[in-house]
Amino acid sequence: MSKFNWNYPTTMWVGNDRAQDLNLACKSLSIKKPLLVTDNSLVELDIIQNILKDLKNKNIDFQVFSNVIGNPTGANVNEGVEFFKKKNCDGVIAFGGGSVLDVGKAIAFMSGQILPIWDFEDVGDNWKKANSTNIPPIIAVPTTAGTGSETGRASVILNEKTGVKNIIFHPKFLPSIVILDPLLTIKLPPKITAATGMDAFAHNLEAYCAPGFHPMADGIALEGMRLIKDWLLEAVNNGSNIEARMNMLTAASMGSTAFQKGLGAIHSLSHPINALNNIHHGLSNAIFMPYVLTFNKEMIEEKIVKICKYLEINDKTFNGFLDWLIDFRKKLNLPHKLSDVIDEKDLDLDRLSEMALKDPSTSGNPKKLNKKDMKILYQHSISGELFR
């Protein structure tokens, strides 16, 4: 049997109002002066102003960096690192959605490095180039239930020069403490709730379908999908349902934990679209999902039947799962085609296909891919044609 490395070390504090324990998390990690990383829209909201007030009242000497954008760039990270060093911070609190968490983790990591961030792209043993001794601790507090970046050992950062989203990896990207507080997500709009929820579903689904031996990841992925099936629609339709929000936060963290086993073409197709056309990552994952599933059918049909049984889908066949998925997505008011959100003339399919083929997620796809396959998948996602 091949050899495998499994890792599940994340400490997680879960429940209502757990964000009020941020001061305890700082003390637990001996953080005296944290840099709280968030975004410009979130920093103005009561949700974070109350957190900042609470930290101040508890004598935590924090600084705030909020210049984070969706699909964050290397410049975002570099600016944050400069601010971190200028203010003599000794830890990071990443407080926000997936982009914020990715930037916060990258700031902490890069504050201890000399080499440029792109030298640590998740290729081969690049991570071993890093100086591992001066990476400050990270506390992650997600405010969306999608990327699961809070339990991940990587960040996805856009290289402005190449136009490519790079996955930057190191074991110490993994936050030391994660706080899952459903009260932080109740104001999330329905469209964002739906898109981020399908992002989490894609993580669990692709992890489960990825080749390789990892029963722990498979079990987590199955339960993550069940939670999303049972609770995402409720979270979209009734955002104040705390139980639904808690289960979605949990499922998102589970997806990121599971996908250390691997991802696949859903993500390979999404990353270039996110980089070149600035489409929300969860939305693009939701669109590409059925096209990739049908492309991979011959390799994953048995696994999809097992998913149907665990999720208690009535028609326990590959086509039954596909029909359920398309109907589920429709109920979430998410589009079926890429052309529903992007004008076809704005899509450079040759460039997108080349980027998708080179994406690190491609290696985890159950069926081997070439550039022609990627282009066909993009074309099908534009026309709405499935590989039936």
Q: Domains of the chain: which residue ranges?
A: 11-185, 190-383
Q: Residue 18 pLDDT more than 60?
A: yes
Distance in Å from the first CA to the final CA of the chain = 35
Q: Residue 207 pLDDT more than 80?
A: yes
pLDDT at 6: 72
Q: Residue 56 pLDDT more than 60?
A: yes
Structural contact between residues 206 and 262, judged by C-beta atoms closer than 8 angstroms = yes
Lowest-confidence pick of 2-6, 174-178, 234-238: 2-6
Percent share of the chain, pLDDT over 90: 91
- pLDDT mean over 101-119: 97
* SS3 label, residue 93: strand
Q: Looking at the chain, how many residues does it have?
A: 388
Q: Quick one: CATH architecture of 11-185?
A: 3-Layer(aba) Sandwich (3.40)
Closest CA to 254 of 281, 226, 230, 233: 226
Measured in degrees and rounded to the nearest 5, phi and psi for residue 168 equal -100, 125
In sequence order, the β-bridge partners of residue 34 are 91
Q: Residue 373 pLDDT more than 90?
A: yes
Measured in degrees and rounded to the nearest 5, phi and psi for residue 204 equal -65, -40
Q: Residue 104 pLDDT more than 70?
A: yes
Structural contact between residues 225 and 307, judged by C-beta atoms closer than 8 angstroms = yes
pLDDT at 70: 82
Q: What is the pLDDT of residues 25-49, one digit of tens each?
A: 999 999 999 999 999 989 888 988 9
Assigned CATH for 190-383:
1.20.1090.10
Q: Residue 293 pLDDT more than 70?
A: yes
Q: Which residue has the tokens 């999404």?
A: 270
Measured in degrees and rounded to the nearest 5, phi and psi for residue 311 equal -85, -5
- pLDDT mean over 60-87: 94
pLDDT at 185: 96
pLDDT at 3: 73
Structural contact between residues 87 and 80, judged by C-beta atoms closer than 8 angstroms = no
How high is the mean pLDDT of the chain? 95
Q: Give long-range contacts, CB 8 A cutoff, 24+ apart: 125-131.
A: 126/169, 127/169, 127/170, 127/171, 130/170, 130/172
Q: Residue 369 pLDDT more than 60?
A: yes
How far is it, in rounded angstroms, from Cα 286 to Cα 289? 5
How far is it, in rounded angstroms, from Cα 88 to Cα 376? 51
Q: Residue 9 pLDDT more than 80?
A: no
Structural contact between residues 350 and 356, judged by C-beta atoms closer than 8 angstroms = no
pLDDT tier at 1, thresholds 50, 70, 90: low
**Has this prediction a pTM greater than 0.85?**
yes
pLDDT at 69: 87
pLDDT at 388: 66
pLDDT at 257: 95
pLDDT tier at 211, thresholds 50, 70, 90: very high
How far is it, in rounded angstroms, from Cα 157 to Cα 121? 10
Measured in degrees and rounded to the nearest 5, phi and psi for residue 19 equal -65, -20
How far is it, in rounded angstroms, from Cα 20 to Cα 179? 10
pLDDT at 354: 97
